[in-house]
């Protein structure tokens, strides 16, 4: 039955939602391993954690992709996609003494996405920084 303003029963109300423009989710915020850790990172099977992305589109959901790589361009390493949780543990061990880059991407149902800042973790020493993704190309492997 098509409801119009002339045949809606008295006291009955309806709500609807209209979304004129799809928007991407917010970038995930890194929790751990974080740049505020003051101790060296010795865990070769770390648990990666981040704050949830928020999608401004009502009723939209977000899944995550985690990338961990010994290369700043993420051309190799570990990738886990379509995670609904905000924690992920590696199933294969990292190599001791290597520097690793890692980031998290939040993606909504239509494919819009946002990427966290890139974290650099120096395993076996206390190096750990947050750098903007636009600066990745300026990092040299010296």
Write out pLDDT tens, residues 48-57. Answer: 999 999 999 9
Judge whether 56 and 38 are in contact, CB under 8 Å.
no
In 27-136 the beta strands, taken as DSSP E runs, fall at 29-32, 47-51, 62-69, 78-83, 87-89, 99-108, 113-115, 118-122, 128-131
Percent residues over pLDDT 90 in the chain? 40
Mean pLDDT of the chain: 77
Q: What is the mean pLDDT of residues 105-128?
A: 77
Cα–Cα distances in angstroms (integers) from residue 48 to residues 28, 29, 30, 86, in the given order: 12, 11, 8, 8
Indicate the pTM of the whole model: 0.72
Domains and CATH numbers, the chain: 29-137 (2.60.40.10)
């Amino acid at each position: 039955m098509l409801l119009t303003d002339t045949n809606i029963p008295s006291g009955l109300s309806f709500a609807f939602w209209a979304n004129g423009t799809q928007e991407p989710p917010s970038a995930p915020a890194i929790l751990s391993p974080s740049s505020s850790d003051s101790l060296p990172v010795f865990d070769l099977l770390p648990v990666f954690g981040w704050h949830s992305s928020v999608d401004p589109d009502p009723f939209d959901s977000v899944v995550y992709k985690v990338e961990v790589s010994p290369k700043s361009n993420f051309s190799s390493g570990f990738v886990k996609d379509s995670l609904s949780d905000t924690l992920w543990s590696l199933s294969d061990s990292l190599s001791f003494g290597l520097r690793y880059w890692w980031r998290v991407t939040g993606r909504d149902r239509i494919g819009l996405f946002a990427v966290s800042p890139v974290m650099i973790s120096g395993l076996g020493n206390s190096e750990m920084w947050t750098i903007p993704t636009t600066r990745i190309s300026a990092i040299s492997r010296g």
